[in-house]
Structure 1
Amino acid sequence: MANANALTDAPVQLYRNPKSGHCHRVELMLALLEVPYENVDLDMVNGAHREPDYLKLSPLGQVPAIDDNGITLADSNAIITYLVERYGEPATWTGTDPVEKARVQRWLSIAAGEIASGPCAARLVTVFGATLDHEAAKAKAHALLAMMNAHLDSRDWLELERPTLADIAGYSYIAHAPEGGVSLATYPHVRSWLARIEALPHFIGMARSPALA
C-alpha cells in the first residue's frame, strides 16, 4: 500500500516507451504498491529521449525515468528499489536479513545481465529492429530459461516465499520472450511463475506485440 503521505502529492511521472520491458517493470511496481502515477510516453523515434530537458532526468538518454515530486531517477532496477523503500514495506520486497537481501539482489543483477542480453535482446531485434545477433540472444535466453525452470521446480517465487523485487525485475522480459522468437513451451515452471505474478492484486500487464513463437 502506498505511503499515506504520498497520497497528497502529485502523481509520480513515469517517462517511458510503452513497448519497453524496462519501463513496464517500473509501472508494474507502481501498480502493485498502489502508488498514483502518470505515464509520459516519449517519442523516441524522433529523439525525445535525447532532448536536453529529458537528459536532465536520464543523463544516458534511456527509459524509464521518474519524477516523484522533484525526486528524479533513471534505471529501472534503481527505480523499483526506491519505490519499495519509499512507498512499500521494504523488508517484504528486499529481504529481512543480509542473506535474503543478497539473494534478491542477485536476481536484479541477472535482470541487468542475462535477461538483458537474452530475452530482452532477442525482442529488441524483432520488435524494435535492433541490429543484434538474434540467434545468440535466443540461445542465451534458452540457457537462462532452462536454469530458471529448474530453479522454480520446488518453489513458487524466484527467491523467497513471497514475491520480491527479484520477481518484478524478472517478469516483463520473460513474459514477453515469445515476441523475440523465444518459446516458453518447454518451461512449465516458468509459465506457472508468470501466472502467479499475473494473479497478484493490482497487476498490470504490458501490451503485447505479435508473438513469433
Structure 2
Amino acid sequence: MPGHFEPLPGGGAAVALDDVEISIIRSLAVQLLELIGPGPAEDAEADPLAGLFAEGPSEPPADPVLKRLFPDAYCDPGHTPASPRDAEEQRAYSAEFRRYTENDLRAGKRENALAVVRSLDALAAAGEGGAVLKLSVEESRQWLGALNDLRLAIGSRLGITDEDDTDLLFRLPDEDPRKPMVMAYLWLGGLQETLVSTLMP
C-alpha cells in the first residue's frame, strides 16, 4: 500500500502516507484553494434562489494556471478560426458559457480541495509517524478531482502541454530548480492513477 491507493472492501480506497507526504499534499491543496479563491461571502444575498442564478465572470482568467483549470469552452488553442468573425463568435460563446458555469466549477474544485485538507487533518490528528488514509467512494471521487487539479496546476507552472514534455522532465538534472515540482507532479500522477483503478468496476 505505501505510495499507492488500494481498493477497500465494499468500496472506497486506502493509502499509507507518512508525515512528509501528508504535509506536501495538504500544502498543495491549500495553495490550490488560495488560487481558486474564496467561496461566496458570508454577507452574500440571503436569497438562495438569487445565489443560484448569480452570474460568474465572462472573461478568461489572466493567470495561466487558472486558464488551465477553467479553459474556454469554445476556443481551441491549437486551432485557428477560419475568419475573424468565427473567432469573435467563439469568444462570445465562451464568455456566455463561462458566465453561467464558472461559479459552479470553482465551487466544485474548492469542495474537492477542502475534502483533501479535512481528511488529511483528521488523519494527522489520529496518529503519529503517518497513517493509513481510508476514503469512502465519494471521498475518493473528491480526491481524484483534487489530484487532477493539482497536476494541472503544477503542469501549467512547469509548461507541460503534452506527453513529450513529461518525458523531458524525467531527464532534468538534480540541480535544476524545477526538480522538486517535477517530483511532486510525477508522484501525484502515480497516486491519481492508482486511485482511478480503485474506482473502476
**Structure 1 length-normalised TM:** 0.26
Larger radius of gyration: 2
**Structure 2 length-normalised TM:** 0.27
Looking at both structures, which has the greater relative contact order when contacts are Cα pairs under 8 Å and sequence separation is at least 6? 2
